[in-house]
């Protein structure tokens, strides 16, 4: 039985001729079912005429998908003696792993740090609205809040698989309240905390539990922070260093205790100094545990980080760079006053400030915009820019066997892009969950 025709047309001219002239078009065409063999098992879909990001290179290969996973075609041919049930011609477009945003505070009017009666509906709205930007998984992020907010909000944001309803939720990122007063940025000073005598129990009491938590950002110079880092990492929770005045030695000790991430590098930390580079120095430190890999978030929105700083970080430690949006609830809404947790935020053009101040308050740039700006600002390869939004965050969270990759056996979460890295379609578990309006004609 035939499948419905699906056409996705991308007509943007290539701005990078080395990627090939034919990549300016993207046409996904559903073809016939073959042999009726798909009736008793999940159908095999073959994406043809595409360039796949795999093994740090764009390869001119087909992508095979079945049952929501990336399929090894050799096993299909030689062990099962099967061919594709459906073919889709991608017209030379790029197929890259779906983007993963590990720091997003909300968007489209939804504030994850607001203790409403139906937090889940807000998370669902954001999960749906970030699909056009290529995001297939994310970590809803809560900024510094009073304990009653954590206790009400966290149980309402469970880990959830993605699908037609929206991007998957990988767990919550708790940014604060155990951070520096001096480098609090947009976090409300009244709700900042330090660790009490029984530090980890104090943290549990503040958050009300850690069941849905994936990342915790804290300042490592706070007393008793290292015992907290060890306790969190023992539970499989990623500890990130940020909003901090830590010197390099303190940051290195935190990594030795288990920390693996830096929250929005350069922002809300001591500036680099040649005699003590602070947390920034972790990118080239020779005092990290053997085999320990440090990752760092970068907000490549054209506002938070100067292009020269982006280039310095990328050239110093390209394998650890993780693009994050740090998007605030004002994402997608335009100029005006909006909220971020307990604070009021004012958006003016491309910049969000704490109302009445010149303090930056997150970003209003979506992930695909950050990818394009990062590519342009650093002059890195297309492969590197795409991996910074996919493979690297997956590695940070220990999910690289399933997310952030198009290797055989991985989840079939991927994004279809033209040569300018504009999103043409988004797939989760091999299912089309969004496509550009012009691509439907």
Residue positions in the annotated binding site for Zn(2+)?
175, 243, 264
Question: Per the annotation, where are the binding residues?
Answer: 175, 186, 243, 264, 267-268, 275, 304, 360-362
Query: Catalytic: 407?
Result: no
Cβ atoms of 263 and 297 closer than 8 Å? yes
Q: Per DSSP, what are the bridge partners of residue 97?
A: 414
Residues whose CB falls within 8 Å of the CB of residue 26, separated by 6 or more in sequence, listed in order: 8, 9, 10, 90, 91, 92, 93, 416, 418, 424, 425, 439
3-state secondary structure of 434: strand
Distance CA 337, CA 350 (A): 13
Closest to 15 measured CA to CA, from 420, 374, 368: 420
Where are any strands of DSSP class E within 242-363?
A: 261-262, 295-298, 321-323, 336-340, 343-348, 351-354
Catalytic residue among 85, 326, 411, 413: 326
Distance CA 324, CA 414 (A): 18
Question: Per the annotation, where are the binding residues for substrate?
Answer: 186, 267-268, 275, 304, 360-362
Q: Per DSSP, what are the bridge partners of residue 70?
A: 65
Q: What is the DSSP string of 127-141?
A: HHHTGGGTEEEEEEE
Question: CB neighbours (10 Å) of residue 34?
Answer: 16
Closest to 190 measured CA to CA, from 202, 177, 203, 199: 177
Distance CA 49, CA 52 (A): 10
Measured CA to CA in angstroms, residue 173 lies from 157, 238, 284 at distances of 11, 9, 26
Beta-strand relationship, 423-428 and 414-417: antiparallel
Classify residue 332 as left (phi > 0), alpha (psi -120 to 50) or beta.
Answer: left
Cβ atoms of 373 and 58 closer than 8 Å? no
Quote the DSSP letter at residue 253.
H
Report the catalytic residues: 326
């Amino acid at each position: 039985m035939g499948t419905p025709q699906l056409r996705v047309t991308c007509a943007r001219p290539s701005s990078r001729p080395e990627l090939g002239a034919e990549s300016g078009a993207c046409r996904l065409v559903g073809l016939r079912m073959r042999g009726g063999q798909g009736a008793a098992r999940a159908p095999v879909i073959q994406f043809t005429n595409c360039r796949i990001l795999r093994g740090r290179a764009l390869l001119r290969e087909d992508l095979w998908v079945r049952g929501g996973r990336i399929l090894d075609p050799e096993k299909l041919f030689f062990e099962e003696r099967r061919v594709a049930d459906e073919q889709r011609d991608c017209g030379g477009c790029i197929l890259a792993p779906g983007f993963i945003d590990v720091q997003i505070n909300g968007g489209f009017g939804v504030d994850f740090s607001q203790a409403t009666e139906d937090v889940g509906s807000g998370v669902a709205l954001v999960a749906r609205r970030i699909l056009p930007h290529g995001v297939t998984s994310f970590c809803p992020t809560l900024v510094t809040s009073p304990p009653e907010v954590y206790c009400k909000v966290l149980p309402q944001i469970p880990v959830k698989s993605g699908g037609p309803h929206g991007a998957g939720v990988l767990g919550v990122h708790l940014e604060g309240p155990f951070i520096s007063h001096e480098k609090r940025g947009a976090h409300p000073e009244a709700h900042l905390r330090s660790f009490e005598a029984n530090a980890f129990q104090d943290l549990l009491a503040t958050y009300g539990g850690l069941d849905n938590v994936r990342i915790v950002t804290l300042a490592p110079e706070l007393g008793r922070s290292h015992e907290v880092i060890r306790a969190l990492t023992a539970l499989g929770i990623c500890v990130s260093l940020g909003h901090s005045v830590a010197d390099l030695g303190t940051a290195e000790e935190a990594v030795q205790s288990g920390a693996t991430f830096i929250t929005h590098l350069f922002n809300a930390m001591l500036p680099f100094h040649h005699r003590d580079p602070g947390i920034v120095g972790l990118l080239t430190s020779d005092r990290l545990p053997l085999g320990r890999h440090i990752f760092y978030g970068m907000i490549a929105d054209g506002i938070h980080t100067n292009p020269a700083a982006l280039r310095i970080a990328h050239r110093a430690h390209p394998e650890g760079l993780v693009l994050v949006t740090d998007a605030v609830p004002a994402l997608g809404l335009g100029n005006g006053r909006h909220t971020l947790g307990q604070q009021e935020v004012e958006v003016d053009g491309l910049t969000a400030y704490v109302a009445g101040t010149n303090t930056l308050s997150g970003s209003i740039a979506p992930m695909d915009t950050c990818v394009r700006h990062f590519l342009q600002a650093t002059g890195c390869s297309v492969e590197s820019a795409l991996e910074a939004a996919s493979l690297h965050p997956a590695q940070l969270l220990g999910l690289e066997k399933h997310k952030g990759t198009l290797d055989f056996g991985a989840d079939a979460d991927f994004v279809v892009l033209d040569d300018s890295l504009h999103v043409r379609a988004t797939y989760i578990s091999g299912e089309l969950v969004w496509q550009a309006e012009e691509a439907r004609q």
